[in-house]
Every structure is written in C-alpha cells, then in structure tokens.
Amino acid sequence: MTTTQALKVLVVDDEATTRLMIRANLVRESYDVISAEDGEQAVALFERERPQAVIMDLEMPVMDGYEATQEIKRMAGDLFVPVIFLTATLDEDALVRCIECGGDDFLSKPVSNPVLLAKLSAQLRIYQMTETMITQRDELRLNQIQNEQDMRIAEKVFARMVNQDTSEIGNVRKLVSPASVLSGDVLLVTTAPNGSVRVLLGDFTGHGLSAAIGTPLVCEVFYGMTAKGFSIVDVVNEMNKKLHKVLPTGLFFACVVLQLEIGEDRLTSWCGGIPDAMVRGVNGGIKHRIPSRNLALGIVGKLGANSGTTSHSLEVGDRILACSDGLAEAFNPDGELFGQKRLEKIYCEHPDSEAAFDQLSRSIADFTEGEEQTDDITMVEIVHDGRCPEKLAVGAVEKEGDLRAADWEAHFKFGVETLRAIDPLPLIVQLLAEIQGLSQHREHIYTILAELFRNSLDHGLLGLDSILKQTPDGFEKYYQLREERLAALSEGMIRIELQHEPRTTGGRLLILLEDSGPGFDYGEWENSWLSDLRAKSGRGIALVQTLCESVTYLGDGSSVCASYIWDHDGDAQGASEGT
C-alpha cells in the first residue's frame, strides 16, 4: 500500500461533470475521494470526514468557495489542509481574494489532469510534513507537561527532606535561590542532642535534577547521625563514603558544616571545596575566616587523616555567614562579576549587624537586575545570641514509647586506639534507647554523658587545662593541643558503667566514669564552681549538676558518679529541685 492510498480528497463543484471527471482521475491514482455540490455541503462534509486536501470551485450556489474555504481553514486549526481553487477567471482581484481567504494554489478550468495531480501531490507533501511537525510538537508538549509535573513532585519531596522542623531555631537566617526547579545547593539545619545548632551548606556540581540526585543521601546521613550525637567528622566521613559509591565521575559535593556550641561560645567547622565562611564580629569586620582545607565529598573513597574540624571562640553577638559559590560568581547584565570582596565588604562593613544579611540579599538582587541565574545561590547566617534553641533534636527523632523500667547494668571500657578512632557516645545513647527507651530524656542523658566523658578525656587523660579557653588565642590552642595529645597518647583508658533501677514513676540511671589519669583536687573545685558558673571552664559540669540528682567525684578525682532520675512524663529531678 502506498502513502496516497490513505489520503482523502474533498472535491467541491456545482458542476456534476467536473466532479465526476476529477473523481475518476483521483480514484485511478488511489485517492479516497468525497464530493460536494456547494460550499455549505463542503463545510459539513469536511467536519465529518476530515479530508487531507480540498479542491474547491469559486462560484457556487448557497455558499461560494471563498466563504467555504475560510470556514474549512478555521476548522482545520493548526493542521495545514491545502485548498486548491478551480477557476476560469484570470482576474487579479479574484486571485488575490483566493489567497486572502486561505487558498493555497489555483487550477484553471478546464482541468488538466497531470497538472492537477502534480499540484495535489506537492500540497500533500506539505500537509504530511506539517502533520508530522504538529504530532512531534504535541508529543513534546505532553513530555514537557509530564516533566513539569515530575519536577514539581520532586521539588516537594526534596523540600520535605531538606526542611525538617527547624522553626524553633530562630537564630538561623537563610536565602535559597535555585537556578532551576531543583537546586544543586543543599541547606540543612538541625540541633544536636546537646542543644548545639548544626548547619550544613553544600553545593553539588552543576544544578537541576542531576545535581540534586545526591540530596536524599546527604539528608539521611546528616539528620540521622546528628540526632544520635555523632560528631561532625563522623557525619562528614559517612557522607563522603556513601557519595563516593553512588556519584558518577565528575559529580561531587562541596560543603561546609558549622556547629554553634552555644554554652561554650564555640564554633566548630569542617569546610571542603566551598568558598570561605566567615565570622562577623560584634562590631563588624571579619573576626574569623573559615577557609576550605579539605577535598569536596565524593571525590575519594576515604578522607585524609588531617581532614578534621577547626574551632573558634565566639562572643554573644557574633554572626557566622556561609555562601555557595553562586553568590560570588553571579554576573550583572554587563558581564561584571559580583565577587568575594564585594560580598565581604557589604556583609562585614555594614554598620548595622542586624541588617547586614538583608542588605547582602538586596545587593545581589540589585546587582543582577533580574538577569537569569546561571547557578544556584544559597547563603545562611547563624547568630550567636546566647540562647539555646527551645527545642532540641527531639523533633528530628522519631519518638518511641519508653519501655518498662527494669534493673540492668552495662559496662564499657575504651582503650587508646578506640578513643582515637571513634566517638562512643552515640552508640551508648542508642543502646540506652534500645534497652530502656527514654526518648524524652535522650537529650539530657546525652548532655550528661558528653560532659563527663569530655572531662575524663580532655583533663584526665590528655591533661588539658580549661583556663586556656578563656582567651581567643588560647581557645584555638586548646583544641590544637587536644588533637596533638590524642594522636600522641600511648596508654590510658576510660571506663563507663551504667546502672539502672526502676522507681514508682520511672527510674534512676547511675552513670559512673573512670579514667586512668592522675585525677584532680575536686574538693577545691567543688568549693569554687558555683561562683564561677559564668567562666568558660566549669560551665559544662554546672549544667550537668542542674540535670542530675547528684554529681559526685570519687577517690583521687579520676572517677565521677552522676545520678539521673527520670519519670514517664518526661521530667527529670535535678540538683536544684532537691532529692
């Protein structure tokens, strides 16, 4: 079967002889022919049969060829249906009117069959080409609609993954401006079990769906491990390991992780492959610069041994700013680069610290003048306002029902290699959750364990003096010494003993920590700590005192026992409430 056998032609003429002659010639060429005596019949027939071409007489009763052609063209819409006029006139005005009403060609009467077939064939080639184009256009339109629906769904799913309940973290301000529906930038904010604010700002290579493909994995690791109390280094290493497995070559994840330890006036950070983050001091200017010292994630399977965090001291009123590279690399309509220097000048030299972030947001909008973005733009500001978030990591953890209080004990002993390799606290807290539940007390227990464990490690085994942290230089020196002494530690251990006993409305958890260090004069310390609550040293243990029924140092000071009483309503009995 040839292509022409399927093509239908409408012949319109009030002369039966002409219709029959044309019909006979076209049928002989395997066209499917239908015919009408006037314009009105032609319009009705076209609407019902939808032929692919029309051969139309000009002068007819009821409705002439001009009017019928206009109606047929209207009904054809976007589809090109050729109309070839049959005319005995050579009047230019009549021929012009044929074109104006939609005609595509002319054929003089008497009709020449070879010329008719040639012109019809030429017009039908155009018809078939436009039909193909319309079909492809419609397919593209459907694909575009489907793609837009998919992107909207993906956008909602990604937004739910990225934006967990951070409404209570009021000291974090954000600007997120993706270059397309899905952003390759990632901004995650949460709180750790000890109440510190942790922020991740990351940038996958490129933007759009291909760049956003690793976001679910990053969200799962960041929120899951932070809620369980894992350190920044643990979280970063786990993200790197998983991203390296799944990302194709050439796609990687540059990021900065910032943790504001509000109770200690400390910022801990890890930065890899992303523009410098910075701390704006209370009175303006760059107080600390946080440069990238690590590879972006996903490039190598294992991060280097030196891929650690850095610590900086803060004052209440300091502000931390981090941005993706889309901000400094934005262009205005003249091709001028926004640049890192302009960014720092606007943010750090603005006279009103409260308004600096908003000024930077307005400046980038004014600079680009609505120019289409070539990259995602994200920035985040953390304000050290001295207030702990009202809601800790409970919101990021699925609450499980507490189990019935029971008698049990657990003992752990950590040697030097273990202390160097892992942070055991998240695992211990998770074990507690498995044995006893205690979902509503997870943050308190984590805080108590973390503070006692850190004292045993930092002061008991590593011999660090908290007085160092009372000056900015000493603060950074403290954490530098901590890394050096932990790396050089050749012997020592920390033992943790947990004892739990049921009570009428809940239970009592005894936490005993013992280290192999020389101990300290805790009698002198107990006499002075209450008057020194606002000093940098001693504030952590003061917090533990408020959470526990009692905190008692034993022997030479290398052992400490904390008693934590809990009930099923989520209340804890601290020292300030009496026993």
The Cα 133–Cα 33 span in angstroms is: 25
| pLDDT at residue 232 greater than cutoff 60 | yes
Q: Is 411 left (phi over 0), alpha (psi -120 to 50) or beta?
A: beta
Please tell me which residue, 310 or 569, carries the higher pLDDT value: 310
Residues 414-466: tens digit of each pLDDT: 998 888 877 888 888 877 877 777 767 877 888 889 889 988 999 899 998 87
3-state secondary structure at position 386: coil
Q: Among the listed ranges 128-137, 160-169, 260-269, 554-563, which one has the minimum average pLDDT value?
A: 160-169
Could you report the per-residue pLDDT of 372-407, keeping only the tens digit for each? 777 888 999 999 987 765 444 433 444 445 557 778
Taking only the tens place, the pLDDT of each residue in 110-145 is 888 899 999 999 988 998 899 899 999 999 999 988
Percentage, residues of the chain above pLDDT 90: 38
Question: What is residue 524's predicted lDDT score, i.e. its pLDDT?
Answer: 64
**Percent of the chain whose predicted confidence (pLDDT) is above 70:** 87
The string over 332-357, giving b where at least 16 C-beta atoms fall within 10 Å of a residue's C-beta and e elsewhere, is: eeeeeebeeebbbebbbebeebeebb
Residue type, 304: G
Q: Judge whether 544 and 447 are in contact, CB under 8 Å.
A: yes
For residue 84, the model assigns a pLDDT of 93
- CA-to-CA distance for 485 and 469, rounded, in angstroms? 16
Give the per-residue SS3 of 76-124.
HCCCCCCEEEEECCCCHHHHHHHHHCCCCEEEECCCCHHHHHHHHHHHH
Q: What is the DSSP letter of 371?
A: P
Instruction: State the chain's mean pLDDT as an integer.
Output: 84
Give me the mean pLDDT over the 179-197 stretch. 81
Q: Which of 60-69, 161-170, 222-231 bottoms out in mean pLDDT, i.e. has the lowest?
A: 161-170
Predicted model pTM: 0.65
pLDDT at 317 over 70: yes
Task: Work out the end-to-end distance of the chain between its first and last CA atoms, rounded to an integer number of angstroms.
Answer: 99
**Band of residue 168 on the pLDDT scale cut at 50, 70, 90:** low
Per-residue pLDDT band for 476 (boundaries 50, 70, 90) equals: confident
Whole-angstrom distance, CA of residue 349 vs CA of residue 130:
62
Report the C-alpha gap between 98 and 92 in whole angstroms.
10
Position 82 confidence tier, pLDDT thresholds 50, 70, 90: very high
Cα–Cα distance for residue pair 15/13, rounded to 1 Å: 5
Tell which wins on pLDDT, 543 or 61.
61
Burial class (CB in 10 A: 0-12, 13-18, 19+), 493: middle
Confidence grade of residue 544 (pLDDT, cut at 50, 70, 90):
confident
Give the mean pLDDT of 154-180. Answer: 72
Contacts of 134 (CB under 8 A, 6+ apart): 78, 79
Q: What is the pLDDT of residue 391?
A: 44
